[in-house]
Amino acid sequence: MDVSRTLAQFPDLKDRAVLITGGGSGIGAALVEGFAQQGAKVAFIDIAEMESSALAERLSAQAAHPVLFQKADLRDIDAVRSAVNVVAERLGPIRVLVNNAGRDDRHEFDEVTPEYWDDNHATNLRHVFFVSQAVVPSMKAAGGGAIINMSSIAFLLNMPELPAYATAKAAIIGLTRSMAGLLGPDNIRVNCILPGMIATERQMKLWLTEEGIARMVDRQCLKQVLTPESLVGPCLFLASGAAAGMTAQSIIVDGGIF
């Protein structure tokens, strides 16, 4: 992927330490590349070692700073805290955190068990809080920062096949606003992005069909298929000083679904 041709440059992101969760593929990989092309010092956490290592190696050969990959299961809070500590030690105070990781696995309402519900929320919601909790001391020490949480429009579309996921993504908006109120006095801004239908490799393999894509594009004001790169610009903006007056906000990036 190459997002450099269409991106604005945000000079204040240069040399800034950025941490992205779920950065090994899909939207996360596009974000890792986007921040690296801004000259930021980028680290990402992912559980998939092979593709994450390959991404870090490829981008490190091109970027101003080596890209740091930390393997961790975000459901393991101790592993998450350890990964955050390593990033802060290697790159310096973390000034930007993008809580991107998530899995929109489909599940039937009648078949959801308490165990599945807890695991789904550990994958899609719980780590958003605990990664932020681990990063905030670094941001405070640096005099401020920006946290961007990834939600989804799924809960706005009344999608019946992923109730646990939709609940988690709706909760992220509430968490974003609460964290913004708490951390604002420390000059830490917390905002949220709600992607629409994004044609990632995983989505194309598991859920999206040509017919389904056509139906969704027909509902969009912008008649184009959104890709992971569609989210890079909004995320860079929210992380940068250009959004210095914005916090507790949710931005929908869905092509204008109506």
**Catalytic site residues?**
165
Cα gap 154→204, rounded to integer Å = 17
> Residue 239: phi, psi to the nearest 5?
-80, -20
Sheet holding 250-253, edge to edge: 68-71, 41-46, 17-21, 94-99, 145-150, 188-195, 250-253
Cα gap 59→36, rounded to integer Å = 8
Round the CA-based radius of gyration of the chain to a whole number and report it: 17
Tokens read off for 169: 């993504």
Residue positions counted in the chain: 258
* Residue 24: strand, helix, or coil: coil
Q: Report whether 55 contacts 67 (CB < 8 A).
A: yes
DSSP one-letter string for 49-67: HHHHHHHHHHHHTTSSSPP
Q: Report whether 232 contacts 30 (CB < 8 A).
A: yes
